[in-house]
Each structure stands twice: as C-alpha cells, then as structure tokens.
Amino acid sequence: MLSWLRMLIAKCLGVARRRVDDEAFDEEVTLHLQLLEARHRERGMTHEEARREARRAFGGVQQLREAHRDATGFRWLTEGRQDVAYALRMLRRQPGFTAVAVLTLALGIGANTAVFSVVNAVILRPLPYPQPERIERVGWDWDGRSKPTGALAPFKFDYLRRSSSAFEALTTWQFLVLDSGSHGSGGPVNVLRVSNDFFRVVGSIPSLGRAFTAGDYSSGGVAVCLLTHRAWSARFGRDPRVVGRTLIVDERPLLILGVMPRTFEFPEVTEPADVLVPLVLTPDPRDLGANVPALGRIRQGITREAVESDLDRVFTQLRRDRPEQFSAPAERAVLVSFEDLYLADVRRPLWALFAGVTVVLLIACTNVANLLLARGTTRVREMAVRGALGASRGRIVRQGITEGLVLASIGGLCGVALGAAGVYALVDLAPAGISRLDQVRVDAVVLGFTVALVTVNGVLFGLASTQIGGRGWRAGPTSLTTRGSSTSRGSRRLRQAMIGLEAGLAMVLLVGAVFLVSAFYRLTHTQLGFDPQRIVAVTFRRTPPEYRSPDRIRVTEQALRERLTAVAGVRGVATTSVAPLGERGHNIPITVDGRPDATEGAVEWRAVSRQYASVMGLRLMRGRWFSEEDAAAARPVMVVSGSFAARYWPDGNAVGQRVWLGVFRGQRRPGGTDVAHEIIGIVDDIRDLGPTRPMRRTVFIPQTGTAALPALLVRTEGTVSVETLRAAVAEVDPSLPEPTIATLETRLATRLTRERFSSLLMTTFASVAVLLTAIGVYGVVSWIVRHATHEIGIRMALGATRSLVLREMLVRALVPVCGGLLTGGAVSLFASGLFSGLVVGATAVSIQVTIAAAAILIAAATVAAFIPARRALTVNPAVALRAE
Amino acid sequence: MDHGQPEVLQGTLDLMILKALDALGPLHGFGIARRLEQVSGGVLHLNEGTVYTALVRLAQRGWISSSWGVSERNRRARFYAITRAGRRQLAREQRGWQQIAGIVERVLRLAPEK
C-alpha cells in the first residue's frame, strides 16, 4: 500500500519534472556509452568498431528512452491521448451515427442546462446579503390557519422596530414606478423607497458618496436619492462626478447623494431598482389598511426560536396596551422566509419542469445507448481482433469509456451552446414577477452541473458499447469466424427493454402535458361574468401631480369619454377605477348598516361610470344599475355582486339595504365614507382579476371624484386601431401621460402567462420525448428486421403469410412499448402531485387524460415500428436462405 | 500490462542489482553493468540499457537512492546506493529464491517411478 503510494508520488513528480529528468537520463546514457566505447578501445578495437560494439551491447537508446518515460510518467496519459484520437476517428468515419447521437445528446443536455440555470439562479443561489442566514422577513399570521402574509400594519411595524430586542435593525420599503425628467421625458424609473435602517439590514453601503442619514428622513430637508449601479451606468455613463447632481423623479428634483455598488441587489422586489429614496413612516394607529413589508437583521448568535418568542413577547405587550389593533385571537407576527414568500409558487413548477427535462435527457441517453449497442454488435469482430492481439479487458473498457466521454463531450459542448441560447428563450417566455429571474445565466455552477452530466453519460455510454464488444474479447478469435448471431438474442432483449423504458418515461411526460393542456384549456374557457371580446382597455400607469385633484380628474375623464365615444367604430366607453384583468384589484373593508357583526376586511371595490355595465356586458339580477342622476347628485348608492348579496342576505332581499364602506369592526379606515351606501341593484358575479384567481365578492359605486386617472374601457364594433385611440387621447390633453392600450383578450393572456409557460414547456418536453421514443422504436425494429432476415426467409418459405410476418415484427416492438406505457401510466397517476401546481385548477390526473396520452404514444410507436417492419415483407426467401 | 515471461527476468535483474549495490556500495549504471557481467561470467546477455529501466523501478519503490558524484574519469555520474528498505527487500527475495531453488532441485533429483 505504502509502496503503491510512493510509486504514485514518484510518477507525479516524474510528470512534473519531465524535462530535467530527460536531460539527466540522456547524460547517464551518454556516459555509459562512452565508458563502454573506451573499454572496447582499450582491448584494441578501432574507433568505429568500439562505437558500434558499445551501441550493440547497450541496446536501442530510443526504445529505452520511451520505456523510461513510461516508468516515470503515466502510461494511461499517453494511451488516453491515443484513445481520444481513435474515438474521434471512429466518429468521423460514421457521420450519420455521430450526427444523430450528438444532436440527441445536445437536445437533452441543452434543455437540462437551460432549465437548471433557471433553477440555480431562482431557487438554489443564496440571498445576496452578507451573513444571509441572519436576514429574516417578519410577516403576519392573521388567523392561525391561512398562509401568513409578508407584511404588517405600519403601526405594528413601527412598534416592533422600537421594542424588539432580537433584531439588530428592521427596515421596510415600497416599490413604485415613476416618471423621470421633466414631464416624464426621462422615461420610467424603478424607485425603491427605503426606511432608515435599510443599509444596516442589507449590509451594503454606497460605493460612491454616502448613504441616507437621519437628516435625510426628516421632512423639510432637501429631497435626496441614491442611484443603483444599473441606473448609474444607463443614465450617467458611470460618471464619478454624479454625486451632487440632481435627478427629476415625479416632477421633483432629487439630489444624488451617491451610487450603490454593483453587487447590491434587493430580491425582495422582483424588478431591479434604479433609484433609492428615503421612506418616512408615519405610523398612524388608525391605518390598518396598507400593510408594509418588514425585513430584519437578527442579532449575532440569536436562534430563530428566540426571535419568534421575542416577537410573541412584543405583540403580547401591544395586545395588552392596544387591544383594538387586533381582530382575531390567533393573530400574531411570524418569521417568513424569502423562500416561503417568493418561491412557494415558483419552486414546485420549476422543480417539476426540471424533472420533466431530466426525463427528456434520460430518454435521449437511452436512445444514444441504444445506438451504441447497435454499433457494439458490429464491433464484436474489432474487439475480438484487439483481444487476440493482446489488449487486456481493462484496456478495452477504458477505450470504450474514452469513446463514450468523447461523444458525450461533443454532445455536451453543443448542448451548452443550445442551453445558453435556450436560457434567453426561457427567461423571455417566463411569466413576470419571478424574483431573480433577471440573473439567470450559464455560470460556473451551471457548467459544473453540465460537466457532471456529460461525465456520467460518457461513462455509461462507454460501458454500454463495451458490454457488447466485451463479448468479442472474451470469445476471442473464435468470434472472428461466427456470424455474431449468438449475441443477437441477448442484445435484442436489452434493446427491447430500452424502448420499454423510453416509452415509460415518455408516458409520464405525456400524461403531464395532456393534463396541463386540458387544465389550461379549461382556464381559458372559464366564465368571467363579462365578455372580454371587443373591449379595449386604455390605462394610465401614473397620474401626474398636476392632475391629482378630483375636479381636474372629473373634467379630464368626461373629455376623454366623449372624445373616445366619437371615434368611428366605438360603441361605448366606460371608466373604472380598476381595469379588468390587471395585476391587482382594489379592496376595502365593509360593514352592513345596523349589523356590526356583518363585517369583512376586504371586498373588491370598483368606482365605475354609468356605462360600465353595458360596455362590460354585466347581467343585472335584481334592482337597477346606476342612472345619470346617481352620479350627478352624488347619491350614496351601490350595486353589489351576487355572491356579496348572498353572503349577507341569503333570503334575497339585499336591494334597499345599506352598507358602510371603509368600516371594519366599528373602526373607520382612512378613506371611509361618512354615509352608508344603499344597495340599488345586484349583478352577476364577475372574475375581473382573471380565471386563475378565486371569485371575489365585489361592490360597485358610481365614479366620483377620485384623485387618480381612471381606466377607460372602449367597446368596439368594427376594427379600431391602437393608433387611433392613442391619437384621440393625446388630442384631449397632450400633457396626459402615454396610456397603455390593450384589448381585454390580451390582458387575459397576460394573466395566464405562468400557466401558458408551464403547459407550453411541458408540451415541448413531451413532444421531444415522444419523438425520441419513436426514433428509438424505429431503430430497434429496423435492427430486428435486419437480423431476422434469415428467420423471415425460412418462415416465408414454410408458408407464413406476409401479414403474419408483419404482425410478428410489430409485436416485437410494441410489446415492450406497451409494458413501458402501463408502468409509466401507473407512475404518472401516482405522481400527479408533481404537475398539479403548474396550472391553476389542475388537481388530479384523470383516467381520460391517461388514455389520451397512451393513445398518442401508441400511435407514434406504431408508425415508427411499421415503417421498418414493412421492409421484412420485401425479403425474398430464396435470397435470404442463400445469404448464409 | 505485465505478461508472464518478462516478469521473471525483471525480478531477477532487480535482485541482482540490489545484491550488487549491497555488496559493493554505491555504483553508477556502468559499474552495475560491469558487476553483472562479471558475476554471470559472461553467460547473461542483456542489453545494458535495461539496467537503467530497472534502476528507475527500484528508485520508485524506494529500494535504492541516487546522488550525483564524480566517476573514475572525472565525469559527472549518478551513483546509486541501496536503502534500508532495499536491504529488507533483498533479504525477502533471497529467501524466496532459495526456497524455489531448493524445491526445483528436489524435484529434479527425484528418480523416475517404476
């Protein structure tokens, strides 16, 4: 053992000192030859004779030098180089085989690389903070049952910040998109407003200039900001003299204090920030509405449990002091991890896609192994020759593995190129709002993963090809004369098993794809309660400061409505505070007049114009819709959705009842009304947040003076171009911000991006899987037919009909396929949980889905088997028998 | 990699080199070759170059060590000396050889059975 180790060290040293060693060796040899020569001369030989005799006695210097090199270095290093060259030569000699194998591998490895790089960036990579394990989000558990939210009331946040002993610092933030430059000339900027301990929590400070100080948070001071590296590069060309200049954001000049380092990231917001500005909290105990997120840095050495008990202590105290701040006994602050908040919805779909793509790779590998097996049978002779010439078994296996590695490496290289391109496609296709998706790239970790894949593949391929070739080596020279048919049966079984495996794997993917596509189809055909066809939504991303008064809004709204109604092809125009099928709604608390217990914290709330019902195509169930007078007289009236009415008036007499808006458990929230609204009508339920979100109880009130630009809904009859609408808006008031114009169908499609992404990807994987399986079946059947020519000839000579022979050939391929299919089908029924998170509403795989998937797979396999099987019919018995 | 027949020769050569270094003290390659020629009485014909292959092998196993010195003709030469591990190995091999030689001798001395 020890001497073995010593040898290894000596050899490694030998490799390292190759030149010095060679020189010393040459010196020794030269001396030896000279001494020999001198000795012969002393015995009376001539100069020439002595030299010849010395060389003869010494032996071949060149051979000796090589032997010496072998002894001082590694033989396999040299042999490895030879093997690689040989493998490349073999691949070049069979371009068809090489192209199919490399392409198959590149597809499998490329898809894996792409999906893994997404998994790596979004899920696996640690958070970008120093000591990230000390960073925790504080969330709120509202009732001890449902998922905690990642935000709490500003008053509670402020109380926690001042009373907690477990956190070194706690911060909160707000993310908004505002216009920059005067009159929005600088385009939108992503603004991150951060409270004062932000920099201590994230552990990052500006690389240029300074961070915010207490003075920057006091009102009345100069408005200031920090640039992120991204904005500094894009807007200021990384000018180091940027500190002290101003940037106009939302029509306000902000003094630039500094620039954040390039490494600064804040994944809590899904879009990269451009500008950081101070966020001043005004904790109003009455403000239970807009909750704020909280991120804290835990003190060194404090456990999670200790932090949680500290949270409990703090809020038990608050509950004692201000019981009105709490509505449920189980309400409490909890730690919520970044993962739970941002990755809960993403993690499962991503792992499922990764599993899917891994299955594709497995099928690809099986196919390549199958190809190698086919080639292995033809190489039995070659192996036999090599064995006969003295190659050891280990040597042949090593060469096989080298060949496998070379093949896998070429496939891997192409795969990485494909994967790098695929990553961009994936990120483009992926739904918005996935944290850190912008950081997806093929990096060292991803490459390491790919190298691991290639290595495992290469070794397996090598073993697969030498598995067969090895028989030739064992059989020795005898197999040079036999026709190799003795190996047929065993390898036929092996190859049939492999297409069975492929079919099983493909079946699992196919069931998943059919399942997701059918769920997606159901989603796109959900009844929304309104008719999204032929409605165009005109929305404004922001309201410029000069418009933020109810009067200005009212005038602008009316002018816009009138102008757009006049556009040719427009049948009606309505306005609403929340455009349908957007990212979020707007909810408020309510209390039924005279029934303090009939109260809830969040019903959807829409302030709409009189035309809303007709433009949207709402169905009135009871009572009436708003009239012209309701708005003119500013009557406190409301229309409610069917489910709202049913919840509080199950006996159906909701019309005429009164409801307080903005009041919850006897407390009026900011923005709550002074009078209760009277219900004048009930409309059918609508799902204006899209089919993926649960049905919400909704109330409508007449559009009154709000301080924000409403959205316009335009119902068209003919075709109305976006440009026409845009021009009409600009005509009303050129200083209005550029509106976003999209049909409701487009907006609906946007709401389904995630579902479409999952089903599209799964369908792609499944199609590739089916295609590869079909190729595998095709390959195996043509191989079987080729090797059974003799047998077919005999049977046909003995009177077998053509259809019988054809059936026989098909059965040989389809029996293993059906076996795999049954297994795969059973697996996917049990593994349905894997797919269920991918599309809303897809819960359990049904038998119908499984049958549909099986039908597709059998059809593909039959076609793939039929084409080569037909060739069996062309066998001429006489020729086949003579071919012996 | 290793095939039956050369193994014996190789082992024999290694043994002879170790024995030479043990008996005569440090020698250079040429000196070892001369010693082998002398003890075999000119019967053993081998390419003298193979001595160097054997020397590398023995050095790698730690049985001999080498150092640069000056030869009888004032030339720089590499001198090889047996190490402690080399002596132990030599003793082991000597025992092995004597055993085999004894067995072979006994076998050859047996009278044919009637």
Residues A329-338 pLDDT 10s: 778 888 887 7
Q: Which residues of A touch B42 (CB under 8 A)?
A: none
Q: Which residues of B touch A3 (CB under 8 A)?
A: 61-62
What is the predicted pLDDT for the residue at A490? 67
Q: What is the mean pLDDT of chain A?
A: 83
What is the predicted pLDDT for the residue at A257? 93
> Cβ distance A174 to A232 under 8 Å?
no
A733 band by pLDDT with thresholds 50, 70 and 90: confident
Helices A847-870 and A753-787, packing angle to 10 deg: 30
Q: Which residues of A touch B48 (CB under 8 A)?
A: 32, 36, 57-59
Range list of β-strands (E), A820-876: none
CA-nearest residue of chain B to A34? Answer: B30
Tokens of A453: 């894949």
What is the predicted pLDDT for the residue at A460? 83
C-beta atoms of B52 and A392 within 8 A? no
Number of domains in chain B: 1
C-beta atoms of B61 and A71 within 8 A? no
C-beta atoms of B60 and A61 within 8 A? no
Judged by average pLDDT, the poorest of A248-257, A407-416, A423-432, B91-100 is A423-432
Compute the distance between CA of residue A70 and CA of residue A21 in angstroms, rounded to an integer: 12
Residue A699: strand pairing partners: A605, A640
Checking if the pLDDT of A66 tops 80, the result is no
C-beta atoms of B53 and A25 within 8 A? no
Tokens of A835: 């797919």
Judged by average pLDDT, the poorest of A73-87, A145-159, A187-201, A641-655 is A73-87
Q: Which of B59, B61, B78 is the closest to A28 by Cβ?
A: B78
- A615-646 as b/e, with b when 16 or more CB fall inside 10 Å? bbbbeebbbebbeeebbeeebbbbbbbbebbb
Structure-model confidence comparison of residues A495 and A284, the more confident one: A495
Highest mean pLDDT among A354-368, A382-396, B68-82: A354-368
pLDDT tens-digit series, residues B14-60: 888 898 898 888 888 888 888 888 887 766 667 788 888 888 888 88
Highest mean pLDDT among A164-173, A339-348, A386-395, B94-103: A164-173
pLDDT tens-digit series, residues A531-540: 888 999 999 8
Compute the distance between CA of residue A176 and CA of residue A791 in angstroms, rounded to an integer: 76
pLDDT tens-digit series, residues A734-745: 888 888 899 999
Q: Average pLDDT of A472-484?
A: 51
Compute the distance between CA of residue A755 and CA of residue A692 in angstroms, rounded to an integer: 9
Checking if the pLDDT of B95 tops 80, the result is yes
Q: Average pLDDT of A349-360?
A: 86
Q: What are the φ and ψ backbone dihedral angles of A683, each rounded to 5 degrees? A: -115, 160
A596 band by pLDDT with thresholds 50, 70 and 90: confident
Q: Average pLDDT of A82-90?
A: 84
Distance from CA of B108 to the nearest CA of A (A): 34
Domain residues for the domain of B33 are 4-109
A649 band by pLDDT with thresholds 50, 70 and 90: very high
Checking if the pLDDT of A143 tops 90, the result is no
Highest mean pLDDT among A150-159, A328-337, A722-731: A722-731
Query: Positive or negative CA dihedral for A257, A263, A264, A269?
Result: positive
What is the predicted pLDDT for the residue at A467? 66
The A-side interface with B (CB below 8 A) comprises 3, 6-7, 10-11, 24-25, 27-29, 31-32, 34-36, 38, 57-61, 64, 67-68, 71-72, 75, 390, 392
- Do the domain assignments include residue B77? yes
What is the predicted pLDDT for the residue at B3? 38
A294 C-beta neighbours (distance < 10 Å), count: 27
Checking if the pLDDT of B64 tops 50, the result is yes
What is the predicted pLDDT for the residue at A837? 65
- B2-32 as b/e, with b when 16 or more CB fall inside 10 Å? eeeeeeeeeeebbbbbbbbbeeeebbbbbbb
B101 contact partners, CB below 8 Å, separation of at least 6:
none
Q: Average pLDDT of A538-556?
A: 84
C-beta atoms of A3 and B62 within 8 A? yes
Judged by average pLDDT, the poorest of A158-167, A367-376, A676-685 is A367-376
pLDDT tens-digit series, residues A251-306: 889 999 999 998 888 888 878 899 999 988 777 666 555 678 899 999 998 898 99
B4 band by pLDDT with thresholds 50, 70 and 90: very low
C-beta atoms of A32 and B33 within 8 A? yes
State the CATH number of the domain containing residue B29.
Answer: 1.10.10.10
- Do the domain assignments include residue B91? yes
What is the predicted pLDDT for the residue at A122? 82
What is the predicted pLDDT for the residue at A329? 75
Would you mind telling me the total number of residues written for chain B in this entry? 114
C-beta atoms of A64 and B30 within 8 A? no
Checking if the pLDDT of B2 tops 60, the result is no
Checking if the pLDDT of B113 tops 90, the result is no
Query: Positive or negative CA dihedral for A634, A635, A636, A640?
Result: negative
Whether residue B45 lies within 8 A of chain A, CB to CB, comes out as: no
C-beta atoms of A25 and B52 within 8 A? yes
CA-nearest residue of chain A to B46? Answer: A57
What is the predicted pLDDT for the residue at A477? 52
- Do the domain assignments include residue B27? yes
CA-nearest residue of chain A to B75? Answer: A31
Compute the distance between CA of residue A627 and CA of residue A630 in angstroms, rounded to an integer: 5
Q: Which of A6, A59, A392 is the closest to B61 by Cβ?
A: A6
C-beta atoms of B49 and A10 within 8 A? no
- Do the domain assignments include residue B16? yes
pLDDT tens-digit series, residues A51-60: 888 888 888 7
- Do the domain assignments include residue B114? no
Highest mean pLDDT among A51-60, A500-509, A828-837: A500-509
Residue A677: strand pairing partners: A659
What is the predicted pLDDT for the residue at A288? 52
Structure-model confidence comparison of residues A311 and A75, the more confident one: A311
Checking if the pLDDT of B88 tops 50, the result is yes
Compute the distance between CA of residue A300 and CA of residue A169 in angstroms, rounded to an integer: 12
Q: Average pLDDT of A462-480?
A: 61
Q: Average pLDDT of A834-860?
A: 80
Judged by average pLDDT, the poorest of A2-16, A349-363, A555-569, A703-717 is A2-16
Of the candidates A743, A701, A689, A661, the residue with the CA atom closest to the CA atom of residue A576? A701
Structure-model confidence comparison of residues A291 and A234, the more confident one: A234
Of the candidates A810, A855, A96, the residue with the CA atom closest to the CA atom of residue A499? A810
A575 C-beta neighbours (distance < 10 Å), count: 25
What is the predicted pLDDT for the residue at A245? 93
- Do the domain assignments include residue B8? yes
Checking if the pLDDT of A431 tops 80, the result is no
A483 band by pLDDT with thresholds 50, 70 and 90: very low
Of the candidates A683, A553, A681, A568, the residue with the CA atom closest to the CA atom of residue A616? A683
Checking if the pLDDT of B9 tops 70, the result is no
Compute the distance between CA of residue A854 and CA of residue A508 in angstroms, rounded to an integer: 10
ipTM of the complex in this document: 0.83
Distance from CA of B48 to the nearest CA of A (A): 4
